[in-house]
Structure 1
Amino acid sequence: MRNVVVTDPPRADTGDAEKLGGFGVATVHEALGRVGYLGPELRPAWAGARIGGTAVTVLCWPGDNLMIHVAVEQCRPGDVLVVATNSPSTDGLFGELFATALARRGVRGVILGCGVRDVAELREMGFPAWSRAVSAQGSVKATAGAVNVPIVLGGQVIRPGDVVVADDDGVLVVPRNDVPRALTAAQARIDKESAARAAFEQGELGLDRYGLRNRLGEFGIEYVSHEKYAEEDA
């Protein structure tokens, strides 16, 4: 691994990132063809947060948060700090003091492929954080890593300047060059879901709206009366 800090990488538009955050993880994930999801292990430190921002990436050693200190300086308003370790770690590399520094710089939140601590303080501050674990285990500042290089979390490659969307459903990455398509596709899905919601409120069934009723036979599903079922099951 090269110990490097890449300065001023190209970023997606922060307004576009915020708009994708408003759509939410599930909507954008479905709209893009179910790609980019970082998996169920990354969970919010507190419920109700929703963000969309541009990634500043950090690669640390397990139990060592030196490079997070280095990365803070590279953060701009609208960014999301995304931290990976070069081997599995659940140590609490991030807490309230880091959040204070990042909030001052306009950072929208943090995604941690390790542990987080000071959860009560983060909730009180309203600073969003997603992590693999909650852990009081502390860290050292002893080993060099990298900032603003491609990293891998949840099987997804995250590059500096990509858009990160996160909410109660998890975390999603949208490659920077794919943001325009994501915006168009997500809006189309929102419109489609709004129409479906209105139909369901009027009593329409998904079986009919999605053309499933006439396909039930293909799945081997049959309708039988309770009486007949009881006789057959006797």
Structure 2
Amino acid sequence: MFITADTANIDIAADWQRAPLDKISRLAEYPVALIGDAQKRMGLMSAALRLVTPGLTMAGTILPIHAREGDNLAIHRALDDARPGDVLVVNGHGETSRAVFGDILGEICTSRGIAGVVIDGSTRDVDELTAMKLPVYARGISPAGPWKNGPGRVGYPIACGHVVCNPGDAIIGDSDGLVVIPRDDLDAALERTIAQEQTEQRMREAIRAAVDS
């Protein structure tokens, strides 16, 4: 870690499998709204979690973090085990009065190849994070900084944005929002999304034909 703190009260899960990044990248070629429609509109995170770094998109594997309200010790500890392509998905209990993420953690994330950050809580330093081109989604923005006391958990299933997030699942985000896809469902999800796109393209063609006639 880049801070000096006792992390004995942060529980770390044993090794777990991550979804293949190449399959996630293929699915991420499509908009989140389309992917969600193809999954019967399930797995879409709450609209309260919004993109605070405008114009950026995100796709990667979920590294779930359960943090105490207003405390980011678990996030710091999680970065020790993070791999390129991971997305930090943080259950911060929806606390928005104190940010648990900012530009210093952002610098660590970019150096580690982290694909993005999702916080059911608050962030800060949004101009700096945008300049880093680090996609960050959060429930709120607050200049108030975090505590670093714990406790917390890393690598265990969590709830974030009203969606269950398992370690290694796929998460994709764009300007509309976020969708979570179970890692074992990626192939089928891609097939459903392609079929949905074909259905919608036929609808567009029918609309244009009716206008032109």
SS in 2 for 1:102: helix
Corresponding position: 1:89 with 2:95? yes
Shift of 1:122: 1.0
- Unaligned segments of structure 2, at least 5 residues: 1-8
Q: Could you state the TM-score of these two structures normalised by the residue count of structure 1? A: 0.82
SS in 1 for 2:207: helix
Query: Which structure is larger by alpha-carbon Rg, 1 or 2?
Result: 1
User: Which residue in 2 is equivalent to 1:45?
Assistant: 52
User: Which residue in 2 is equivalent to 1:211?
Assistant: none
Question: Does the CA-based 8 Å contact 1:18-1:51 persist in structure 2?
Answer: no
User: Which residue in 2 is equivalent to 1:78?
Assistant: 85
Question: Does the CA-based 8 Å contact 1:95-1:118 persist in structure 2?
Answer: yes
User: Which residue in 2 is equivalent to 1:143?
Assistant: 150
What is the RMSD computed on CA atoms of the aligned residues? 1.7
SS in 2 for 1:22: coil
**Runs of 4+ with deviation above 6 angstroms:** none
Structure richer in helix, relative to its length: 1
User: Which residue in 2 is equivalent to 1:210?
Assistant: none
User: Which residue in 1 is equivalent to 2:6?
Assistant: none
Change (3 A) 1:204 1:185: farther
Q: Could you state the TM-score of these two structures normalised by the residue count of structure 2? A: 0.89
User: Which residue in 1 is equivalent to 2:110?
Assistant: 103
User: Which residue in 2 is equivalent to 1:8?
Assistant: 15
| Separation of aligned partners in 2, 1:34 and 1:138 | 35
The one-letter amino acid of 2:54's match is: A
Kindly indicate whether structure 1 or structure 2 has the higher relative contact order, using CA contacts under 8 Å at least 6 residues apart. Answer: 2
Identity %: 34
Say how many residue pairs are matched.
203
| Separation of aligned partners in 1, 2:94 and 2:38 | 31
What CA deviation, in whole Å up to 9, does each residue of 1:54-90 have, x standing for no partner?
Answer: 00010000111000000111211111110012x4311
- Unaligned segments of structure 1, at least 5 residues: 206-234
1:57 counterpart (51, 64, 68): 64
User: Which residue in 2 is equivalent to 1:69?
Assistant: 76
Corresponding position: 1:114 with 2:116? no
